[in-house]
Structure 1
Amino acid sequence: MKLTKKICLAITALALIVTPFLANCNQIQTVAAARTSKKTAKGKITLIYDAHLYNKYGHKIKNKKADLSNADNDINGYRYIPNFDAGIVEYYGTKIINGQKFYNIGDGCYINAADVKEVNGKNSKKGKLVLLQKSAVYTKAGNKSGYTLPKRAIVKYQGKVKQVKSKPKYYYSKYFKSDNDEHFFYLPLTKIKGKNYYAIGKNRYVKAYNVASLDGYPLTYNGVTTATVLKKTATQTIKNKTTKHVLKKGQKIKVDLAVQPWAEDFEGYIFRLHDHPNEYIDESYINLRNYLPTSNYFVQVCSFVKSKKTANIKLYDVTGNPVGVSFNAAELSIFNVDGLFYIWNATTNKAELYYHLLSSSFNKKDLLNNDGTQLSSPKTDSQNAGSTLTTAEKIISVNSFVKASDVKFYDGIKLSPLNKPAETEQKQKIATDSDKAQLQKAFDSGQQIGDSNGRHGELMLSYDYALVNAAVVLRSAKATLAQVDQANWLLETTKTQIDTLYFEDFS
């Protein structure tokens, strides 16, 4: 993620407290700098995060068309190398500029050593932290020691980094090839007067909030941080729709999460505004103070449950009766759900809790007959073949449930029941025409909605099937108040999902 912090390192007389070092960066691909002369590269460096380019005077380079593969301009025109594009950068020497060490990468461009993780394959930041701003050094009692560290200071820390399963307040993460999973690491903190510090020497501490990287990895702050708006812009929704909320250049905002947008080839994150949780700002428009935890689009807009067992999971209808279809646990054990209901089961004579399935999130290969055999006909279908489904199959597709007792919450938005157990029995009364008036109105208006550009086929198909379900309830002389309420909910929910969700088409 883009976290270009302009943190300069100056040499200070803190020999008893810190040992300034300057080093390298981490990445995935290779960047070769153009050379103005036939110099031989002295080695390679990898970046910790995005690295701005500097000239020989230590000034950021602006709008220079340097012949550097993968170099780009930030929102204000300053040149930088994005960390997710640049893996390995050749360098041709080092230079001390204004008391800081820089790597010469050719064509008059330099990279601050504080942005560098590895030099010739060796982690130069192991056992060290890098400060993102000028920081006072404190004693155990919480008093200032009289020493101050400059921006981008590279400092040896005390203590041992430990691995942890869940995200602590401050941590860094990395992926292992063995399981391709994210693992979390943290350096134990010292609490002084209610604030978090890292030990950097005997009776010497710096605020954890002022640390940019640890062991050569960006330090993530699991909290609310600030960002400076770099250019006037409006915020956006998670689905990339512009809002009327305009942010001014130079404005300070609070952000609390980095979200991967819905895209197959995203090139960055959008950040959630803490005071406006439904609004986001693209990373290119802000200067972020601290790295934040990352999430993805689906976790922010969807709810997921996971099977508690390896056996196939039965699907039920709105009355709590099996529909004859099950999820194939070998194909799918995590389900996307969009509602949580108490349903009155006449057989057991009690209310039970069920999750409503989001039909657009699975396809026909995920389903089996309850006896484990393959379906003779698809229970979900693509938009083009939707007409081949019977009315019953369309209703199963859009309005099926799994028992809450068969699954457990897995990720995303945690749902709360939309009704209460006590009212489920009361709602078993047969609905009158008057009781169906609201559903009839929603059904009539829904028939006028046609497909249009930007509406996703699967989600639109779910809405069409919700209309089919509503029509059946409206025609039925035995439909209960509970069924009418649920049909209303289904129409409203599937209609909203057309404008708020993205999903792949299933066939």
Structure 2
Amino acid sequence: MKLIKSISLAAAALSLTAPAIVLVNPSITTAQAATKKSTGTITVGNNNRSVIGVYNAAGKQKNQKIKNGTTFKYYGAPKLINNEYTYKIAKDKYVPTSAISTLNGKSVLYIANNSYVYDKNGKRVTKNSKRVLLRRSRIVNYTGSIKTAASDAYRFLVNDGKKMALSTKTIKGHQYYSIGKNAYIRVSNVSYVNNEPLYAAYQTVTLGKHSNESKVPVYDAEGKTVSQELTAGSKVSVDRTKTIKNGDQTLILYGIKGQKSYIDMNDIATMPNLAVTTEE
């Protein structure tokens, strides 16, 4: 199951060594050996993976994969497995929320950080005298529309090379997505829309030590070090990423905002929630 990082999706490919692959045809699939009435449906896919892994209750990947775009009935409430919520589609078979593009036939947001639900006045919504909290890795339906993003949009989706944005509401200086009648969550707590990554115009990262040294090297676009150096612990804004070959090494570089220089991903101590765009 994926963790939320700002690394570009192309660089985050995961190598799996399952003993066999079983593909399920894309259609509404009834869970095998299910004895309970289904709770609803989920659809998987709409990301860069052509097939999606299935897990058991212990978090181990099974020798079954499902095709992108398949719709399943699910059973019961989401279950936390390997630090990510999952939906049960059959006996001892679970699909992670990071692979789900619709819930009960409607579009979804993926929660990157624990998120309270707010009303239109910016007050936290309560239920049974308790504040409503959506836990990290939960998915939730939203209302609103996706349109062409403004040129200066901070958060956006990329569709066929075009920047798109889900409509937001500003409440007390913060941007929110609507998830129902008089119910909103902060945009900053969402990392995926319909299982498509949200990108940021830039992200601020904290540098770690480089080979246990406090001086952190800076690179040019070809991966060669320049005279400039940064210091471990300092914060840097980055707005793009690129992958290059440097001898026998492959470097994933993050471009420093407003500069033609880069830092190595391995020198970043804390990674943000959102991806930045990939530089060609």
TM-score category (smaller protein): 0.5 to 0.7
Cα distance change, pair 229–167 in 1 and its aligned pair in 2 (3 A): same
Q: Secondary structure at the match of 2:167?
A: coil
Please tell me whether the aligned partners of residues 103 and 141 of structure 2 are also in contact (alpha carbons under 8 angstroms): no
| Larger relative contact order (Cα-Cα within 8 Å, sequence gap ≥ 6) | 2
Match of 2:157 in 1: 172
Partner deviation per Cα, 1:207-226 (whole Å, 9 max, x = no partner): 11111111221011224344
Give the aligned partner of residue 319 of structure 1: none
Give 1:138 shift. 1.4
Q: 1:207 aligns with which of 165, 182, 186?
A: 186
Give the Cα–Cα distance (whole angstroms) in 2 for the partners of residues 49 and 268 of structure 1. Answer: 21
Shift of 1:35: 3.4
Q: CA deviation at 1:204?
A: 1.3
1:259 corresponds in structure 2 to: 241
Q: Name the count of aligned residue pairs.
A: 229
Equivalent residues of 2:144, 2:166 under 8 A apart: yes
Match of 1:197 in 2: 176
- CA–CA distance in structure 2, aligned partners of residues 253 and 103 of structure 1: 41
Are 1:293 and 2:277 matched, yes or no? yes
Structure with a larger share of its residues in helix:
1
Alpha-carbon distance in 1 for matches of 2:156, 2:188: 11
Q: Which residue of 1 aligns with 2:224?
A: 241
**Pairing 1:152–2:137 present:** yes
Secondary structure of 1:212's aligned partner? strand
* 8 Å CA contact retained: 1:137, 1:206: yes
Structure number with the higher strand fraction is: 2
Within 5 Å, which residues of 2 pair with 1:122-137?
127-137=107-117
Alpha carbons of structure 1 residues 165 and 32: separation in structure 2 relative to 1, 3 Å: same
The answer on whether the counterparts of 1:48 and 1:115 sit within 8 Å (CA) in structure 2 is no
Q: Is the CA contact 1:49–1:218 (under 8 Å) kept in the aligned structure 2?
A: no
Mark the CA change 1:160 to 1:184 in structure 2 (over 3 Å): closer, same or farther.
same
For residue 29 of structure 2, what is the aligned residue in structure 1?
none
Task: Report Cα offsets for 1:278-314 as digits up to 9, x if no partner.
Answer: 3422279563321223434xxxxxxxxxxxxxxxxxx
Whole-Å Cα distance in 2 between the matches of residues 215 and 103 of structure 1? 19
Per the alignment, do residues 201 and 89 of structure 1 end up closer, same or farther by CA in structure 2, a change over 3 Å counting?
Answer: closer
Pick aligned residue for 1:162 from 129, 134, 147: 147
Residue pair 1:114, 1:153 contacting (<8 A) in 2 also: yes
Mapped to 1, the partners of 2:159 and 2:208 lie a distance apart of 29
Conservation of the 8 A alpha-carbon contact between 2:244 and 2:250:
no
Report the CA distance shift for 1:42/1:285 in structure 2 as closer, same or farther (over 3 A).
farther
Q: Which residue of 2 aligns with 1:4?
A: 3
Unaligned runs of 5+ in 1: 7-24, 69-86, 176-181, 297-507
What is the TM-score of this pair, normalised by structure 1?
Answer: 0.36
Cα distance in 2 for partners of 1:57, 1:208 equals 32
* Percent of matched pairs sharing the same residue: 17
Deviations 1:384-438 (A, max 9, x none): xxxxxxxxxxxxxxxxxxxxxxxxxxxxxxxxxxxxxxxxxxxxxxxxxxxxxxx
Q: Counterparts of 1:111 and 1:273 in 2: how far apart (Å)?
A: 40
2:36 paired residue number: none
In structure 2, list runs of 5 or more residues that go unmatched. 27-43, 126-130
